[in-house]
Amino acid sequence: MHLIVLFLIGVIFGTGIVVSGMANPAKVINFFDVAGTWDPSLIFVMGGALIVTAVGYRIVFGRGRPIFEGKFSLPTARNLDARLIGGSAVFGIGWGISGFCPGGALPALGTGRIDVIAFVAAMLAGIFAAKYLQSLSRARAQAAQ
């Protein structure tokens, strides 16, 4: 039951991504190409998603707890550090080069297109490489103590 609900939430998300144009790199890159073939459509994706989420979260948080878990698992970090800003800048460079963000690419995998599969494989390689580097620096920090 629980997993069927999660599957259906994934269906809604994946359909929304595909309908919105976020899975289409030509459209994503054009959104950022203000100096060229500008297509402002994606501001409507962001606007629609943000309004629904901001209002919906207020209602959900008002319940006190989620349905299938004992408590909400929300990010607790508060600090604006170099890792957050630097990582986000690096992500933006990759998004600008490829036109795919993770949430746009995952539903697009469902088309079976080889270029989407290649992008996701390269992205996973980047995630694993970064996680490995993070574990090395954690180990170094521990050794220094």
Q: What residues from 16 to 75 belong to the interface with other proteins (CB under 8 A)?
A: 16-27, 29-30, 32-37, 39-42, 44-54, 56-57, 59-61, 63, 65-69, 71-75
One residue of 91, 136, 138, 139 binding other proteins per CB under 8 A: 91
Closest CA to 127 of 99, 106, 96: 106
Residue 80 touches other proteins, criterion: CB under 8 A: yes
Q: Is the Cβ–Cβ distance between 105 and 120 less than 8 Å? A: yes
Angle, CA 49 vertex, CA 46 and CA 54 arms, to 5°? 115
In sequence order, what are the residues at sequence separation of 6 or more whose Cβ sits closer than 8 angstroms to the Cβ of residue 18?
Answer: 107, 108
Number of residues that bind other proteins (CB under 8 A): 115
Residue 140 touches other proteins, criterion: CB under 8 A: no
- Rounded to the nearest whole angstrom, what is the least distance from the CB of residue 140 to other proteins in the complex? 16
